Structure 1
Amino acid sequence: MTPASDGSSGFPAGTASLTLHRPHRGGRSLRAWDAADEQLVAEALKRLAPGQRVAVVDDSFGALALGLANFLPDVIADSAALAEGLALNARANRLPVPAVRSWEQELEAVARGSASSASGTARYDAVILKVPRQLEYLGFLLRWCNQVLRPGGWILAGGMIKHLPDQAVRVYQELVVTEAVLPAKKKARLVLCQPGTQTLEHWDRLWRGYPVGELPAPVQGLPAVFARDRLDIGSRELLPFIAEAVTALPPGAPVLDLACGNGLLGLVALSGRPDLAMGFADISSQAIISARVNVSAAGLDRGQCRFYHADGAPPQSGPFRMILLNPPFHEGGAVGDHIALRLFAEAAGCLTGDGELLMVGNRHLGYHRSLRSFFTQVQQLHASPRFVVFRCTGPRQPAGRS
């Protein structure tokens, strides 16, 4: 491992110091690692022995994978953002670029609704994981760890205390054997565990969902999917406008459900216009698995649907006649409009000249102002105390794209 050579303060990884950046301009002012990353790497380096096989789960921008690069860890992540950040930071530190496996690749059987055949043979001596904010996703990860760890294997899980899910202690008690809760440092907490016996097999909360009146089957989601067991308020306010909007589209028009989650917006569009060439894109691989399962369950996939595990608008896709969007407003612990602004720019860049963006957003974020930077016409269709629905036309496309 080569220490960073740019003279900046870097991420401590044993005797080396790594230069780490967030790949997107909107996040450049935010550091690409936190104190939990530092402590996970430091503690793992103390405990790992040469030749042990290691998995790193849900790294953010490469701090864990590159900090443990000497062990050649398998890298598994739900987020599509990791691949770009990991490649950027590996090259910046003159390290090989590790491959990243998504849950779509790691648990293909889950996409068929069967966790039983996803129980692969135990293959890891240690799993280093960043604790997610969602409690049920933490349960998913610990069950997966129980499946893939060899006898004597261990789990080192950590996160910033303010981001740890409520009732996480109960989940650890239920699923693993807690060997040690390490002293908190810099507002981060680490837990060292031995695997338990419960796995993903026969877990009755692997899939959760809810009925939607327009659809013949419940809309379901895996544990990492936003609002997987309830219709979120923003989507509820956008849904009535989708059916009307898609009726005016030409036959077979290409439409994208951007940041699709369980695919609800695209499913409702397809239920009224099954001829549409619908795309589903999300940063979460579990969201893409869920959207694919839901389209199939609703009988709406006639070979015209495409699914993209991508950080934003999928590259080399489109142009689209319409984009449906309920943008997220947080990335890990960072809350703000930087993700939405990037999605607005990407949406404008992959729409046809007569295309439109139909979206809902949190009212307090003032999207009506920022949207005008990307569209010549921004029409407010609906407003409630918390949410606003917009129809945006006249995309200001970047130079070089027609």
Structure 2
Amino acid sequence: MPASTLDFSGGNLSLSRPGKAASLRAWDAADELLLTEAVARITPSEMQRVLVVDDQFGALTLGLSAFGPDVVADSAVLPVALVDNARRNPELPPPVAVRSWLNPPEGPYHAIVLRIPRHSDYLAWLLRWVNGVLADDGLLLAGGMIKHLPDRSVDVFAQAVQTEEVCPARKKARVIVCRPGTASLTDWSGAWKGYALDRSELTVQALPAVFAREKLDIGTRLFLPHVRESVSVLSAGDRVLDLACGNGVVGLAALTEREDLELTFSDVSSQAVASAQRNLSEAFPSARVQCLHADGIDAGAGQFERILLNPPFHEGGVVGDHIALRLFAQAKKHLSPTGRLLMVGNRHLGYHRSLRTFFPVVRQLDANPKFVVLEAAFR
């Protein structure tokens, strides 16, 4: 994929965004402004520990390579993108391995550089986590594109940290300079939220970065009866994949119908994987399951009799079917010859047409004004 060049006060980087059109850059003005402020405010020192939180494609990690930063990110996209972009900038020291919320780093850190997420609950969670690992006199630089800042972000910062300075906006991006506050995750009631699943006594919970964590979304509500019906005819031990699993509600519904199946849960979000793990341990502690933090289906995952999918249709500020198309291509490689891919998606994205480029048999199982349930197979 062609690369673009990010110029900032500390140098320049050649960066590429994996799996995207050349017109979409691997960095934005928020990355540029965060790097500029970090270079101006953080003094490189062997005694200083620096942490980058939720870098997107490696711009922050590579741009701050002189500080030898640790890195933690919710998305499984970053480790792959970082390796690729590190190769494009061989003059820089190699970055450290990326951690996730499944294995977060430990403080104290003297400086933390953080991309502000789009959702206020996740921002509140991050700021409280930061308070637990930031040194008493540590510096937090939080930045994002103004149009993507979450609702009530001013209040969220005020409730968690000490805002020292709001930097002037540049190129529609903003950086906020903070010092640690006293708010913590241990006494915060917003860390876990959930709901009871219809037709069962099952309750699912999720961390803030997880889609639809407070109520069952209407697409999944339409999807679940078809999931139960489809897995009911499988043989004991058949392998089922809940792809882009979120809190795991789809795979949990399958286990509610057939606990003798072998379920794999996979999601690009580590908070989603952690949420699915928690729900599984409480509802089905003896079931044959595994949970994977991955961007799609791992090449060595083997084949499945059922792949269950409610595909994301947005990635950051980019909306469309690009994620679903990549997952369809992977599903084609990992669906058994007699298997079925079941999916629910927004009607306006025309998934019935795109699925036919990967599978010879596609049929509609259900629909409402907003969503459609489709089944794809080889025969």
TM normalised by structure 2 equals: 0.96
Task: Tell me which of 190, 202, 205 is aligned to 2:175.
Answer: 190
Instruction: Tell me what 2:139 maps to.
Output: 154
Aligned equivalent of 1:99, options 87, 91, 97 = 97
How far apart in 1 are the matches of 2:293 and 2:21? 20
Cα shift readout 1:129-186 (whole Å, capped 9, x = no counterpart): 0000111000011001111011210111111111110110110111111111111111
- Work out which of the residue numbers 348, 353, 358 in structure 2 matches 1:364: 348
Distance across 2 between alignment mates of 1:347 and 1:9? 31
Distance 2:224 2:4 in 1: 48
Match of 1:274 in 2: 259
Cα contact 1:359–1:391 (8 A) shared by 2: yes
* 1:117 alignment partner in structure 2: none
Q: Residues 19-98 of structure 1: matches in 2 within 5 Å?
A: 19-24=14-19, 26-51=20-45, 52-94=48-90, 95=92, 96-98=94-96
Shifted more, 195-204 versus 34-43: the winner is 195-204
Counterpart Cα distance in 2 of 1:229 and 1:15: 42
SS in structure 1 opposite 2:288?
A: coil
Aligned counterpart, 2:239: 254
Partners of 1:276 and 1:360 in 2: CA distance: 21
What is residue 320 of structure 2 aligned with on the other side? 336
Deviation at 1:9, TM superposition (A): 5.2
Rounded Cα–Cα distance in structure 2 between residues aligned with 1:322 and 1:153: 49
Are 1:91 and 1:97, in contact at CA under 8 Å, matched by a contact in 2?
no
* Count of aligned positions: 374
Give the whole-Å Cα distance in 2 for the aligned partners of 1:31 and 1:295: 38
Residues 9 and 309 of structure 1: CA distance in aligned 2, closer, same or farther (over 3 Å): closer
Distance in 2 of aligned mates of 1:49 and 1:135: 31
Deviation at 1:284, TM superposition (A): 0.2
Cα displacement string for residues 65-103 of structure 1 (whole angstroms, at most 9, x for unaligned residues)? 000001010100000000000000011101313210000
Q: 1:15 offset after TM fit, Å?
A: 4.4
Secondary structure of 1:127's counterpart equals strand
The amino acid that maps onto 2:230 is A
Give distance in 2, aligned partners of 1:204 and 1:246. 36
Task: Report the CA distance between 1:30 and its aligned residue.
Answer: 1.1
1:11 maps to 2:6: yes
In 1, Cα distance between equivalents of 2:139 and 2:11: 25
Decide whether the 8 Å contact of 1:86 with 1:98 is kept in 2: no
Contact 1:257 1:265 in 2 (8 A): yes
The corresponding residue for 1:113 is none
What SS class does the counterpart of residue 44 from structure 1 fall into?
helix
Tell me, yes or no, if the aligned pair for 1:87 and 1:98 is still in contact at 8 Å: no
Structure 1 position 318, deviation (Å): 2.2
CA contact under 8 A between 1:228 and 1:262: conserved in structure 2? Answer: yes
Is 1:316 aligned to residue 300 of structure 2?
A: yes
SS at match of 2:360: strand
Note the alpha carbon deviations across 1:225-270, whole angstroms, 9 max, x for none.
Answer: 1111111111111011111100111211000000000000000000
Equivalence for 1:327: 311
- TM norm structure 1: 0.91
1:219 maps to amino acid: V
Displacement of 1:288: 0.3
Contact 2:65 2:95 in 1 (8 A): no
CA contact (8 A) 1:123 1:148 kept: yes
CA distance in 1, matches of 2:113, 2:191: 22
Runs of 4+ in 1 over 4 A off after TM superposition: none
Instruction: Output the amino acid matched with 2:227.
Output: I
Q: Which runs of 5+ in 1 are unaligned?
A: 1-5, 108-119, 396-402
Q: Using a 3 Å threshold, how does the CA distance of structure 1 residues 329 and 348 change in structure 2: closer, same or farther?
A: same
Q: In structure 1, the residue corresponding to 2:103 is in which secondary structure?
A: helix
Find the residue that maps to 1:191 and give its secondary structure.
Answer: strand
Instruction: Note the aligned Cα RMSD (angstroms).
Output: 1.4
